[in-house]
């Protein structure tokens, strides 16, 4: 829930805003919606509150043709929500209440085994408990399902098993910095930290770099490849990373033998479309909005 204001309120102060917007978000859901819009058959594994927002979210998944067989609702917590205040200078103050997300545990992941073990690809993030994400990644690996892990929001002491369970470890610059303790200011820096992350046991690493596209590192000893993107006028980059990952999941599912660099090139172009319109999920392109050369 985002309010636009001239300036951020001080403690105890009430001020008038000039714009208010409610949109669906959450990294996992965003990624799932982008993959579904490109034509992937998708299922979401998550927990929502038994409340107004939870009901609306179930409907949003259904509207996108996303299976809700493993979307559970609980009376014990609220649906995860973010209250966002943005001032006219573009600065923000955000409160996230994870709510029901934190009640998604190993039991729920176990119930989702039929979907996880038969998928072409599993995508996990860190907006639920890390244990639950790691269990799902291990479950996928046991069934030879390819995995994309997006360590976001990043935690400095990420368990080493996450690297080993990731076929594609995909993060942005600031997450790469937090995980390695190294500065990522240039494409070269991204290549260096990518090599370090690869050395921790991932199958491959992608570091997204906003308007500069991304860097892909596929195997020990091979040099990092910079994959630039097209130059566009960005209006709102919120959720661009999730658009990229959703598109990447689509390509892994539909073109499993395509080189990762080519998938990243195409995912760059999908995410570049998403930054040209306001909003998060509402800015994600559908297959019909994209050039046929991307399919």
Q: Does 244 bind ligand ATP (CB under 6 A)?
A: yes
Question: Contact region for ligand ATP (CB under 6 A) — 51-59, 114-122, 189-197, 205-213?
Answer: 205-213
The answer to whether the annotation marks 183 as part of a ligand binding site is no
Q: Does 213 bind ligand ATP (CB under 6 A)?
A: yes
Q: In the complex with ligand ATP, which residue's Cβ is closer, 31 or 74?
A: 31
DSSP codes, 107-145 = HHHHHTHHHHHH-SEEEE-SSS-HHHHHHHHHHHHHTT-
**Which residue's Cβ has the minimum distance to ligand ATP?**
241
Among 208, 218, 281, 283, binds ligand ATP (CB under 6 A): 208
Q: Does 127 bind ligand ATP (CB under 6 A)?
A: no
- β-strand pairing of 214-217 with 225-227: antiparallel
Nearest approach, Cβ of residue 56 and ligand ATP (Å) = 22
**Which of 87, 70, 65 minimizes the C-alpha distance to 4?**
87
Question: Contact region for ligand ATP (CB under 6 A) — 36-44, 101-109, 227-235, 282-290?
Answer: 227-235
The question of whether 289 is a catalytic residue gets the answer no
- Rounded to 5 degrees, φ, ψ at 170 are -120, 120
DSSP codes, 167-218 = SEEEEEHHHHHHHHS----SHHHHHHHHHHHHHTT-SEEEEE-GGG-EEEE-
51, 167, 189, 242: the catalytic one is: 242
Q: Does 125 bind ligand ATP (CB under 6 A)?
A: no
Size of the site for ligand ATP (CB under 6 A): 21
What is the distance between the alpha carbons of residues 20 and 254, in angstroms, rounded to a whole number? 38
Q: Does 249 bind ligand ATP (CB under 6 A)?
A: no
24 contacts 57 by C-beta, under 8 angstroms:
yes
Q: Which residues are catalytic?
A: 242
List residues near ligand ATP by CB under 6 A.
Answer: 172, 208-211, 213-214, 229, 232, 234, 237-242, 244, 268, 271-272, 275
């Amino acid at each position: 829930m985002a309010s636009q204001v001239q300036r951020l309120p001080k403690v105890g102060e009430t001020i008038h805003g000039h714009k208010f917007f409610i949109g669906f978000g959450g990294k996992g859901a965003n990624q799932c919606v982008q993959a579904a819009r490109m034509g992937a058959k998708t299922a979401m594994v998550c927990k929502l509150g038994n409340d107004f927002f939870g009901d609306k979210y179930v409907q949003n998944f259904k509207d996108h043709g996303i299976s809700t067989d493993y979307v559970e609702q609980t009376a014990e917590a609220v649906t995860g929500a973010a209250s966002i205040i943005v001032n006219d200078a573009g600065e923000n103050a955000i409160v996230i209440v994870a709510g029901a997300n934190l009640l998604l545990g190993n039991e729920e992941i176990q119930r989702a085994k039929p979907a996880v073990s038969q998928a072409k690809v599993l995508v996990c993030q860190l907006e639920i408990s890390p244990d639950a994400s790691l269990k799902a990644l291990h479950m996928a690996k046991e069934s030879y399902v390819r995995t994309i892990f997006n360590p976001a929001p990043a935690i400095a002491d990420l368990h080493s098993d996450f690297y080993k369970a990731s076929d594609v470890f995909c993060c942005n610059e600031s997450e790469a910095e937090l995980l390695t303790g190294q500065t990522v200011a240039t494409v070269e820096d991204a290549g260096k930290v990518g090599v370090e992350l690869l050395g921790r046991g991932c199958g491959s690493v992608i570091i997204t770099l906003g308007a500069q596209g991304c860097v892909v590192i596929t195997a020990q000893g091979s040099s990092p490849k910079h994959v630039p993107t097209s130059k566009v006028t960005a209006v709102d980059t919120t959720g661009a990373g999730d658009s990229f990952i959703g598109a990447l999941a689509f390509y892994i599912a539909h073109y499993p033998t395509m080189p990762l660099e080519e998938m990243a090139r195409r995912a760059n172009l999908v995410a570049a479309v998403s930054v040209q319109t306001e909003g998060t999920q509402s800015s994600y392109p559908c297959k019909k909005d994209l050039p046929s050369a991307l399919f």
